[in-house]
C-alpha cells in the first residue's frame, strides 16, 4: 500500500506541473494568434469550462455540507482592476480555518473521485484499452480525464487556510507517534484500499500521459511560432 500511496502523490505532483505549464503555453499560443488578451482568456476559459464547472461546484457543495454560507458564483473569467484574471470564483462566508481548508481542497477531492468514475465507467479494463470495443466511450473517457485534471487543482487563494491548519495536523501526528499511539488496521481493509488505489493510479497514469501529450503538442506549436517570428 505504501508504494501505491507514494505513486499516487508522485502522479498528482506530475499532473499538476504538466497542467500548469500546458495552460501557460496554450494561452501564449492563442495570444500569438489573436493578439488580444481578453479574447485569449475567453478561449482558454471555454476550452477548460467543464473542469471549471466541476471545480467551482465542488467548492459550493463542500461549503453547503459544512454549513458555510456562500455568495455569488461564476464559472466565466472576470478581469480585476489590477490585471488579475479569475477563471471562476465562489464567494465563501467566514468560517474556521479547518472548514475553509476542506472547502479549498474540495476540487482535488472531487477531481480524484471523477477520475475514478471516468476510468471505471468510460475507459474500463485497461487491458482492453487498445481494442476497438467501446471506442467512443474510451475517447469520452480520455477527454473527461483531460478536463478533470485541468481543473482539479486548488489555487493559492483556496489553500490559504490549509497552510494555517497543516502545521497543527503535523504536530498532532507527531505527538501521536511520540506517545506510542498506534492504530492496528484490519489487513483486509488495507488490501481493499491498496487495490482501489492501484486502479486509481492506473487512471491517473493515463491522465498524465494525455496531459503530457497535450503539453508536448503545445511546446511544439510554441517553437514553430517562435521560428516564424524570427524569420
pLDDT in tens, 1-47: 778 888 998 999 999 999 999 999 999 889 988 889 889 999 999 99
What is the rounded average pLDDT of the residues 192-198? 89
What per-residue confidence (pLDDT) applies to 209?
96
Percent of the chain with pLDDT over 70: 86
Give every CB contact of residue 70 below 8 A, 6+ residues apart in sequence.
60, 63, 64, 90, 91, 92, 93
Structural domain boundaries enclosing 62: 2-230
| Reported confidence tier of residue 125, pLDDT bands at 50, 70, 90 | confident
What per-residue confidence (pLDDT) applies to 179?
66
Q: What are the two backbone dihedrals, phi and then psi, of residue 131, each rounded to the nearest 5 degrees?
A: -85, 155
197 contacts 8 by C-beta, under 8 angstroms: yes
Q: How far is CA 144 from the centre of its chain?
A: 12
In 3D space, the residue among 191, 215, 137 whose CA is nearest the CA of residue 1 turns out to be 191
| Angle formed at CA 154 by CA 141 and CA 77, multiple of 5 degrees | 85
User: Helices (DSSP H) in 67-186: which residue ranges?
Assistant: 97-118, 135-151, 160-178
What per-residue confidence (pLDDT) applies to 177?
61
Considering its fold, how many domains does the chain have in total? Answer: 1
pTM of this structure: 0.85
Q: What is the pLDDT of residues 141-191, one digit of tens each?
A: 999 999 999 999 877 776 776 676 677 777 876 776 666 555 555 677 778
What per-residue confidence (pLDDT) applies to 118?
95
Q: What's the distance, Cα to Cα, between the start and end of the chain in Å?
A: 54
Amino acid at each position: 500500500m505504501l508504494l501505491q500511496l507514494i505513486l499516487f502523490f508522485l502522479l498528482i505532483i506530475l499532473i499538476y506541473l504538466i497542467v500548469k505549464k500546458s495552460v501557460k503555453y496554450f494561452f501564449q499560443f492563442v495570444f500569438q494568434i489573436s493578439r488580444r488578451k481578453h479574447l485569449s482568456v475567453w478561449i482558454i476559459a471555454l476550452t477548460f469550462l467543464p473542469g471549471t464547472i466541476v471545480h467551482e461546484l465542488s467548492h459550493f457543495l463542500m461549503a453547503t455540507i459544512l454549513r458555510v454560507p456562500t455568495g455569488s458564483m461564476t464559472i466565466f473569467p472576470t478581469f480585476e482592476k489590477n490585471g488579475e484574471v479569475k477563471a471562476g470564483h465562489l464567494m465563501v462566508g467566514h468560517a474556521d480555518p479547518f472548514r475553509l481548508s476542506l472547502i479549498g481542497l474540495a476540487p482535488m477531492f472531487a477531481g480524484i473521485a471523477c477520475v475514478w468514475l471516468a476510468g471505471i465507467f468510460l475507459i474500463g479494463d485497461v487491458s482492453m484499452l487498445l481494442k476497438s470495443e467501446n471506442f467512443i466511450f474510451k475517447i469520452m473517457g480520455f477527454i473527461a480525464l483531460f478536463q478533470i485534471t485541468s481543473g482539479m487543482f486548488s489555487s493559492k487563494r483556496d489553500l490559504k487556510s490549509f497552510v494555517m491548519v497543516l502545521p497543527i495536523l503535523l504536530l498532532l501526528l507527531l505527538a501521536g507517534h511520540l506517545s506510542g499511539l498506534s492504530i492496528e488496521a484490519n489487513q483486509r481493509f488495507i488490501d481493499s484500499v491498496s487495490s482501489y488505489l492501484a486502479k486509481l493510479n492506473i487512471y491517473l497514469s493515463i491522465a498524465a500521459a494525455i496531459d503530457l501529450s497535450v503539453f508536448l503538442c503545445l511546446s511544439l506549436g510554441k517553437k514553430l511560432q517562435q521560428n516564424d517570428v524570427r524569420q
